């Protein structure tokens, strides 16, 4: 069994419901069990302008799937939920990213682990801090707490999601 951390995000429609459904679908994958879930956060889009805010979170899954097989399963969940990939960083019903896969370092054309931008994104590190603050980034050799402390103080607003 390997522990994998999956980033979850949505900025179209019923965002929190999409995130919860994706987590439920991940838990139904054979060889995959959702073990820990972060709170959800309302976050600003990063890298684009003119999009609605996101709901983001992170889950830890324990899996006996390979990283490549897990990625394919996550892409199937996205497609089943209606995600259409048009362009990079486009608005999306659901986005599922493998952030970490144990302490492995993977560099393939279709999969890079650790996620190459995770240490620069408050919307990834804030939920990770809630479930694994001492987890070590296998390339940067810093904990999630240390990486979060290196983020600039401005930009990338993240606030706890409160359902109305």
- CA–CA separation, 156 and 151 (whole Å): 10
| Options 42, 92, 121, 122, the catalytic residue | 92
- Known catalytic residue at 92: yes
Q: Are 144 and 133 in contact (CB under 8 A)?
A: yes
- Rounded Cα gap, residues 52 and 44, in angstroms: 8
- Catalytic member of 60, 83, 121, 122: 83
**Phi/psi of residue 13, nearest 5 degrees:** 70, -140
121 is annotated as an active-site residue: no
Which of the residues 42, 95, 121, 122 is marked catalytic? Answer: 95
CA quadruple 77, 82, 85, 91: dihedral sign: negative
**Distance of alpha carbon 45 from alpha carbon 54, whole angstroms:** 7
Q: Active-site residue numbers?
A: 83, 92, 95, 97
């Amino acid at each position: 069994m390997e522990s994998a951390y999956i980033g979850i995000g949505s900025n179209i429609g019923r965002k929190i419901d999409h995130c919860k459904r994706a987590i439920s679908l991940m838990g139904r994958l054979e060889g995959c069990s959702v073990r820990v879930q972060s709170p959800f956060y309302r976050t600003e889009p990063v890298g684009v302008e003119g999009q609605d805010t996101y709901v983001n979170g992170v889950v830890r899954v324990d899996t006996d799937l390979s990283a490549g097989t897990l990625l394919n399963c996550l892409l199937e969940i996205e497609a089943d939920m209606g995600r259409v990939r048009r362009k990079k960083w486009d608005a999306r019903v659901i986005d599922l990213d493998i952030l970490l896969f144990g302490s492995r370092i993977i560099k393939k054309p279709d999969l890079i682990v650790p996620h190459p931008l995770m240490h620069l994104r408050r919307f990834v590190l804030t939920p990770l801090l809630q479930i694994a603050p001492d987890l070590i980034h296998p390339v940067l050799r810093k904990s999630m707490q240390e990486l979060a402390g290196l983020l600039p103080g401005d930009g990338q607003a993240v606030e706890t999601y409160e359902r109305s």
